Each structure stands twice: as C-alpha cells, then as structure tokens.
Chain A
Amino acid sequence: MRNVNSLQVIPGVDQVEAEKKPFTRALPSALAVVPVSMLFGILAYRADWSILEILAASVLGFTGSGQLALLPLADSNTGFLTMLLICASINSRYIPIALTTQHRLPSKLLSKWFAAHMLGDEAYATEKASDSTANVFTIRFTIFFFWVVSGVAGGALSKAIPDSWISGGIHLGYPASVVLVYLSVTQIKTRMHGGYTRPALLMMVCLALAAVFVIFLGPIYFWVPSVLLTTLILHWFRYNE
C-alpha cells in the first residue's frame, strides 16, 4: 500500500530504468566505488594493517568516507570515543535516510540489520520507492560486495601499485563522485517534477545555500542544518506556489 502511495508522490518514474534487474542497476555504482575502496585497502596495508584486518574493516565498518577518515586517526592512536564522534558526524546524513527507507527492509531481524548496515549513498540513490525488498537487498549487497572485495584487493595489490598513483595526483575517488552526482540529478528530477512552478530556480537557490553551509560549517558538520533548511525551503515552496 505504501509503495502505491509512494508512486503517486513521485510521478514520472523512469519505467525502463525501474524495470532493469537490480543487479544491472547497481553495477555502475558498484564499479564506481572500486577505486575508492581499493584506495582504502592500499592505505590501510601501507599502515601495517593485515589483509584480514582490511577485510574486517570493510565488512563490519562499511562506511566509505568514514573508513578513510579513521585511517590517519588510527595511525595516531586516537581513542574510541573520538573516532566514534568523528565517524558518526561524517555519516549523520544516514539517520533520516535510514528512517525513511526502513519499510524497504526484510522483516527477519538479522536480514534487516544486515540490509540496514549495507545502506550507502550510491545504494540509496539507485533504489526507487517502488522497489521490492528483494530488489533493495540485491542493490545494497551488490555495492557492498564490490566494496569489500575491492578493499581486500587493494591491500593485496598494494605493493604492485606505484607510489606516484597514490601521491602523484591521480584522483582515484573521482568516479564515485561522478556517479553520485548523476544519480542525485536523476532522483531530484523525478521528485521535483510537477511539484514546483520554478524548479530550476529553486534548485539553484538550494544548491547555493548548501554550498554556503559546506564552506562555513565544513564538510562534516554542515549536513544536519543544511539538509533541514533545504527541506524547509522545498516544503514551503511546494505548498505555497
């Protein structure tokens, strides 16, 4: 019932894209996170982590940017609470995302925990409100699996990768940024369709405000206030135009 309502809220869903198999839909995102995860594996291995430790961090600590952020902190023997505070701040954006996607998860407790743990930016941007639980699980697991395998592969290949690739200016994380921008634009286009009289102008204003928040509050602490303000603006214009 909720899925039917969700479809009514979000008109103009790309049926062709939605009808693709979930694995096929998740594959480009999964491939895009490979260099980022490999980078984590390489850096961790060079910081004297074993392959088993890289595997454990990728499986249990699947947080993308959080993993990369904690590596230098681990190197300087930072305490648990400091690490938790920093990592939770970086990933605080997942709280509203997890809340609003909870109905897409399996009903069995362990599967539910696992599916919730595998939630990532790329998976969230790939999923659709009309997706079945199985589709959501497949999308999340595909990206999670590629992330874990790539991290371990990065560690294993660490010695074979030239130092210049890491320190010489090749931006290995860029494909993941590109994929996230692509998916975000398609999701915004779908959701804003029909709800606003001047969507392009409104989008530009929201983007500019969010950019100001990033610049002044920094990339860690801008998320909550900026998302809240953007939500209020979008809400106000949706019901007042």
Chain B
Amino acid sequence: MNDTVFITIAALLSTSFIVRILPAIHGFQLPEAMMQWAESILPTAVFLNFIAYIFIQEIKVSVLAASVSLVITALIAFFKAGGLMLGMTGGCVSYYLIAAHLNQITF
C-alpha cells in the first residue's frame, strides 16, 4: 500500500470515527423531552435537507430529467403507490429516458 492511499484511508477512517463512532459511543443521554424532539423534528429537518441537496445537485446535471423524475419518485413515495422498488424504477427509468431523449447520454 503506497503512502498516499494509506493517508486517504486513514482520513476516511478518522472521519468515520469523528462523525459517527464518537457521537454514538460517548454515552451522552438527552433528556426525554429533548429526545422526542431529536427523534421527530431533527430527522425531519435532515430529510428535508437531503431532498433539497439532491435536487440542487441533480438539476446541475439535467434540469428537466432530474425535476421530472424526482417529482415522480416523491409522488410515488407520498401516495404509497407501490414500494421502494417501484419508486426507484419509476424515478430511474423516467430520468434515463428523458436524458437520452435530450441526448445527454451517449452510448
């Protein structure tokens, strides 16, 4: 293993330790009222930010394909019109079809 790869893996492992392992093992317990808040409101905020982040990142690649397919995925999820597999298929198929139609994919 060369030095650069070793340093890269060490940085990745250290990151995991700082952002995931350390907060999970330090044993800090939130008060019960705070815990309920942290288990319902905070995750909602995280998931809303996931969506905004993904949308902004994906429209940089293809505005139309990403907008249409992410709306389709969100609607399938919201109305529970099938499971995750159907949501993923609907989103991906619509994205790749529109991107191919717009000649944004070259085979």
Contacts and interface: CB of A to CB of B under 8 A. Distances in A.
Contacts of A129: 39
A178 B46 contact: no
A146 to B, nearest CB: 14
A29 B88 CA distance: 9
A233 B43 CA distance: 13
B7 A192 contact: no
A179 B76 CA distance: 12
Interface in B5-22: 5, 7-16, 18-22
User: Interface range on chain B: under 10, 10 to 19, 20 to 34, or 35 or more?
Assistant: 35 or more
B47 A53 contact: no
Nearest to B95: A174
A102 B70 contact: no
B88 A185 contact: no
Interface of B: 1, 4-5, 7-16, 18-25, 27-28, 30, 32, 35-58, 61-62, 69-70, 73-74, 76-78, 80, 83-85, 87-88, 91-92, 95-96, 99, 104-107
B53 A210 contact: yes
A53 B53 CA distance: 30
Contact of B73 (A168, A181, A222): A181
Interface residues of A, number: 99
Interface of A: 2, 5-6, 9-10, 14, 17, 28-29, 32, 49-50, 52-53, 56-57, 60-63, 66-67, 70-71, 73-74, 77, 79-80, 83-84, 87-88, 91-102, 105, 109, 112-113, 115-117, 119, 121, 124-125, 129, 164, 168-171, 174-175, 177-189, 191-192, 195, 203, 206-207, 210-211, 213-215, 219, 222-223, 226-228, 230-231, 234-235, 238
B48 A230 contact: yes
B3 to A, nearest CB: 9
Given A10-B40, A96-B38, A179-B84, A174 B58 contact: yes
